[in-house]
Structure 1
Amino acid sequence: MRPEELAAYARDKYNMALQEKWNSDPGLFYTLNDPDTGVMLAYLMREWDPATGEELDRCDLRCGEGALAELSRPYLSPPFRMYGKKWVGITLDERTEPDVVYTLFDRAVAANGQYGCTLVLDPVPVMLNAAGNDPAGAGLSVPAGQYTDTLLPRRAGVPAAAKDPAPERIREMRRLYEYGSESPEMRAQNFCRQGRFMEDYEDDAPWDGGLFFCYYPTYHDMNTRQLRGYFAWRTRVRKGEYTDISASAAYMYVYELLNGIGAASPEESIEKIKAFEAGYLDAGFGNEYMRRYIDRWLYEFAVVNGLDPELTVSFADPEQPKRDAALAVMRKPDEHTDTEVFDALCVFAGRKLSASPVIAADKERGTHLFSEIWRYAAAHCRIEDKELLSETDLFTACFGERRKAVWYPLSSAVYLDRNRNENTDYVLNECRIYRRRGGIWRAEAYEKVNFKLSRLRGFVHAADVKLRQYLKAGHPGTARPEEAWAEPFIDAVLGADKRAMREAARQNIRIDPAGLEKIRADADVTLDRLLTEEEKRELTAPETVQAVPETDVAGKLTQVSAGGVAVPAGLALDETQFRILRLLLDGTDVSDYIKAQRLMPSMVADAVNEALADEIGDNVIICDDDRLSLVEDYREDIERLTGG
């Protein structure tokens, strides 16, 4: 910071001019004085430092030594040339924070009881003798080279101070400002106190504030021209006339509405802020960050004031309500439809799930199976959580628990929470709750930082691979070893689906005795068309099967028949189906036997599988290219059932 910046601040805000000070020491010395009392408020020095070979800019400021304890800054120190508890020294260099210096200067002005000083010419200096005493008998004794803050007489011919050009209402507003700590709460209290006082104030002065830039701007940061220009701009805005103004000043208008200044209710505040967005931001005024800040503030403002959750959600980041809604569905899938569960899975599993061949082949069935798999796994799967050192359900393993975190609503705005000591709960949805206790807000939510989406996506991938194979949809995909933990839950759902499909098919069978003869006749015609002439001749000879006892097939058939093996009680198989099963158990090709019985292989397979559905729960015979084969996984079960 340079001395010129402090001089410009004093000029713009208090109409105070920098005055050169006479001094016998080498260097440049200036003062900022109160013309009515002659009290020096600031003593600025530019001196040569022989040790560093550089000029040093320093300032003694009459703001009270308490600032040293209150503000721990490397550039603050005891005074350099003045003395007493009223003075603080400031080194003006690249480390110095202008906002801190401006605040201390405001404090110096306020402590002197003056608002709006004007140019003061050099007061008559008090000359001290070599001992540092006042030869005029004023009773002063100070160290050599130091200056007192004694009241100095006005030089003859110096005009009296001009009155502050600010309107009386603005001067009264300034007197409402309370100096103290520069905490955000204190800043907000001053802003609201002054804002309420100026709530209905109007002005017509044009904005002549130049480039006004300030973080967390308030009335106290503006000089008279800027204040009048702002209030005139606000007057027009309230009438629907939007013109450009410094972004910092525009922010201040939004701060007013957030604090209820110029609005009768929280709902009206929101309505006026939305009107400001449409009239000011949509017109191209402001900056790129303003809309982002406003949307965030509206969301936080709605929560703090307990407004309708539907209204609050409209201000949220679009991804947040979408994510919360999906979490609510996946947390309690039994309470939601297949489509809702599948859509929730898609939110976290990505676009690949909705584009799966399973969905492309049969959307309704695929949606149902994906949803059922999640429901079953969510209810039965337990995964060891290394962090919690315990087992947890699948939902928690994928999304974590709803955790509490301190929440700072409207912390990026000048805002005073007048109800901060009231305890309150705000339920935005079942996955996101805000609570205020003892003035502290906390948010309870499932946050992305705690998600383990790799686990969820692995589960979904395993389900997709299994479903492709089960429904014969698209490329079968490749199972991954690390996803094997999910397969038992997927298989359980697919097994239940097979049984349900068979039961539904059984219930839909209607036998028409009058049509049986026609079915048999049609079957004979079909078989006749499929057989070759040679096969027809073989089938017309009744002794054909018995005429080839040397073949394995004939021999085994004779053994079965000669043994008089009866179909075990409880099996829904006829003798032919039973014999086919026994032959398959022995590894015999039954194609010739099926032809001899004038049967179709696919129909035989369906009949046997249907008959054993209750016992096995899965297909035991596969028909591939009109050739039957046994499913080896069920060999022991079939041997047990058939007594083989």
Structure 2
Amino acid sequence: MAGHDVDIHELIARLNANERIRQSAHFSCGVYRDEPIVRTGRQMATYLPDRYRKMRAISRWQDQPGGARGRWLSEAELFYRQARYMEDFEDDCPYRGNFVSYYPTYNNMSDRQLRGYFTWRAAVRRGEVAQTSTSFAYVYLYELINGIGVADPLDGYRKLRAFWDAYRAFAPEIDRNVRTWLHDYVIYHGLDAELLADDPVRTLDLELIAIARTFMPFDPALATWLGLDEGPASHTGGAVGVPPTGTRPPAARPAPCAERSTERALPLPPDAAGEERILDAIERHASYRPRSSRLYHAHPDDLRHVTAAVFVRMLAYYRKHRSRGLVESSFGEEAEMGYTMFGSAVFYEEHAHADADYALDPIHRYRCRRGLWTCRRIYGGQGRSKAWGEIARATDYRLRAALSFEPQLKEPKCPKYLAKIIDREIASWLDWKRAHAPRVIDIDLSKLSGIRSAAAETREALLIDEERDEGPVEASPTARGEAKGAGAPLSASGGTALRETQPSPPVRAGLADGEAPVRAAAPAQAAARQTATGGPLTAEETAYIAALLEGKPEKAPAGASEDLMVDTINEKLFDLLGDTAIEFGAAGPCLIEDYRDDIRELICP
């Protein structure tokens, strides 16, 4: 083959594809995997490139210059130095065995495993993430955490996130460690906090902040807890208004919220939107969920208002009688503790981290001083609050009893002070509801005709003989309507007999408050007829009613009773108006406003 350029890889491919070689006796007695029959020297399992030998030559014992005493490298530092040396290396010798190590590094691998790892890593960097030994995956994660194979911190975050998203399908157990390392990577390198939008720790922080903001109008001391009363943060990763330091000066104890029984916990009429926000916070974070209660489905307004009001009262109670408020005590205690970056990982800092302050959110901050990190946050705030659940359940139980709602809950353990607060809010709410309940007016129209018929008979019985001689009493409109409805008498021609009639005014008694009386038809004409004959009132009665029109009532004549005079005037005017003209109010006798014009026409024709 002299004089010709030979591609060794092409030659091997041809040999591997040759069926004659495959069926040879040398290869017919065995079980084979998907591996090449002929390999290059680099692909031979027994072959070890010089790069690996030089990497292993990096000794853990490091001599110091100038004759100073040497030192042993830590496992993390040795791994970092070896990873830097092998940062751009790639191999082509797959490993199909298994590699297991608790803190895996290159030193824990055999030569064959080393070659298999760097072959697998080369494929990962090309975007081909294949399942392998989980320890290999952790070694690659350690490399990224230490900045091996990344251009900058943001590139490192993206590669960490991409590998985690791909490999968790093969090994979901890596979630527990990788979530923490991603969190630490953002803090350590001062990246944007929004990169941790789905971080469980930050999600919990934001939920606690939302609770505090919901209750802040009723418990102003929560503003100090959130750090809203301090200066702005110096780091761009921190939230606006959050101080960079990890400590806060103790705030003066605020005055407790109003707890007097004469003051309402929440305004009435209720602010439904505001109460819904409070109930939302309770629903998300209490161990007892009010909206799942049968009482809520039957009486949502009752349970919503009373539960929200009880929690507002409890905010004041805790602030007055406890060392910490209801929100702070229910979701853990704020404290500053030492923090280890990238715990459970093989991580080495070539240079100590510069002093830094990072505010992940208003209640979660980190501080680095001389390479040592501390974290100030709410510890113990995981899960739903048992204390909140007990308050919500006790409220549900006692409100059911007050409303006689079935089924009743099993009586929960409830401190006396809590029972007193709940009962007071229930009583206040139910009293307000009764006082502002809409009035229901039920008018039985079937009885109106009977009332009017009885009124006509009574009127006929009260007439004197002279009044009877003047003419027959006109039938009431209802009576005429009934007669017409029942079938009016027919004329000889078969038509309905027609009579000239005047409608009779309705009775004023029995009208609802604020309802205007129905005025009699044509009262002015009836008054004119009476005036033409001299008028029904005497001179004294005319003077008395004229004074009422002017708003300057006169006393009754000497020897006469004012009550009797008013009754007499009302009787005389009843035929004209069909109703009482004068009534007694708080200031004495007064004219009914609807008939003032008719009476003025009567006495001043």
Length-normalised TM-score, structure 1: 0.46
Identify which of structures 1 and 2 has the higher relative contact order when contacts are C-alpha pairs closer than 8 Å and 6+ apart.
2
Bigger Rg over Cα: 2
Q: State the TM-score, normalized to the length of structure 2.
A: 0.49
